[in-house]
Amino acid sequence: MKRGEMLYEGKAKRVFRTDSPGRFIVEFKDDATAFDGKKRGSIEEKGILNNRISAYFFALLARAGIPSHFIELISEREMFVEGVEIIPVEVVARNIVAGSLAKRTGLPEGTPLNQPVVEYYYKRDDLGDPMINCSHVVALGLASADELHRMRETALRINGILKEHLEAKGIVLVDFKVEFGRKDGQVLLADEISPDTCRFWDKQTGEKLDKDRFRRDLGGVAEAYAAIWQRLDGGG
């Protein structure tokens, strides 16, 4: 397949047309942003690592029967994907209090939740991706009630699969964000699953191994991303 014109450039990825109808190339960048783009920087080899890590998780979930837009890796920074119509709703699943949930509830970061919490955010950069509820999603026409149900149930299934898989590798899945797209009547997992979109903590030490190291100026950002890949790929 040949890479054609660039169709879209976001904060962390570029999307290119190909000569294969309905299929595209996603290129992962080293650029990093936080706080709705107010903080910007670059993380060495982030694009390479997020590409590999996302492909790893998409393949893991596919084996469990969860379909996604992922087809295959084609280079260290690029994956080949099915074209989907992105549903403009970010679905967040939380297992432990962290980030904005700590601010909203007043609970200390690190407080375990007695069940997973699922939240929805309107995917609108110009509005700061505000938190919305199920009624908003349907009333605004962002997704049907059936699509929303499927997204929620899929996010909870993903949560269970990833939690178990990561725990065996010494990683705590604190929370994560996923996105979905429509294709031929199906709702498919899309975007990425990486340290950019998840909170990963070391099971023994509680060390943060994700984008919070960039957000909070903790240092060792590239090393944290590399550590996640080493544990996944190396089994340790």
The residue ranges of every structural domain in the chain are 3-82, 86-219
| Per-residue pLDDT band at 235 (split at 50, 70, 90) | low
| Per-residue pLDDT band at 236 (split at 50, 70, 90) | very low
Percent of the residues in the chain that have a pLDDT greater than 70, as a whole number: 99
Of the chain, the end-to-end C-alpha distance in Å amounts to 35
pLDDT at 143: 98
The domain 86-219 is classified under which CATH number: 3.30.470.20, 3.90.110.10, 3.30.565.10, 1.10.150.120? Answer: 3.30.470.20
pLDDT at 234: 75
* 3-class DSSP string for 46-102: HHHHHHHHHHHHHHHHHHCCCCECEEEECCCCEEEEECCEECCEEEEEEEECCCHHH
The domain 3-82 is classified under which CATH number: 3.10.129.10, 1.10.10.10, 3.10.450.50, 3.30.200.20? Answer: 3.30.200.20
Rounded to two decimals, the pTM is 0.95
